[in-house]
Amino acid sequence: MKTTRIIFWFVLSSVVCPLFPAACRAQAGQDSLAALDQATVSVAQKTGHAVVSISAEHVTRIPAARRYYFYGPGADDDMLRRFFDDYFGSVPQREFRRSGLGSGVIIDAQGYILTNQHVVEGADKLTVILPDGRQFSGEVKGADTRADLAVIKIDASNLPVARLGDSDTLKIGQWVMAIGNPFGFAMQNPEPTVTVGVVSALHRTLGNALAVDRDYNDLIQTDAAINPGNSGGPLVDLQGNVVGINVAIFSTTGGNQGIGFAIPVNSAKRIISRLIQGKKIEYGWLGVSIQELTGDLARYFGLGADQKGVLVAEVLAGGPADKGGMKDGDIILTFGNQPVKDVKSLLQMVGRSEVGKKVPIVVFRDKRSLALTVEIGMRSVESSEETPAVKQSADVTGAWRGMRVREDREGLVIVSVEPNSPADAAGITPGDVIRQINRVPVSTIAEYEKATRNLHGDVLVGVSRGYVILKEKTDKAK
* Residues annotated as catalytic (active site), given as ranges: 118, 148, 231
Residues in the chain: 478
156 vs 126, 134, 315, CA distance in Å? Answer: 15, 10, 51
Q: Can you give the three-state secondary structure of 380-410, one letter per residue?
A: CCCCCCCCCCCCEEEEECCCECCEEEEEECC
Give me the helix-helix angle, 2-19 and 21-48, nearest 10°. 130
Among 315, 317, 352, 319, smallest CA distance to 332 is for 315
Whole-angstrom distance, CA of residue 271 vs CA of residue 277: 10
Note the Cα 457 to chain centre separation in Å: 40
E runs forming strands in 206-266: 219-222, 234-237, 241-249, 260-264
**Pairing relationship of beta strands 241-249 and 163-164 according to DSSP bridges:** parallel
| List of residues 6+ apart from 355 with CB closer than 8 A | 282, 283, 284, 285, 376, 377, 378
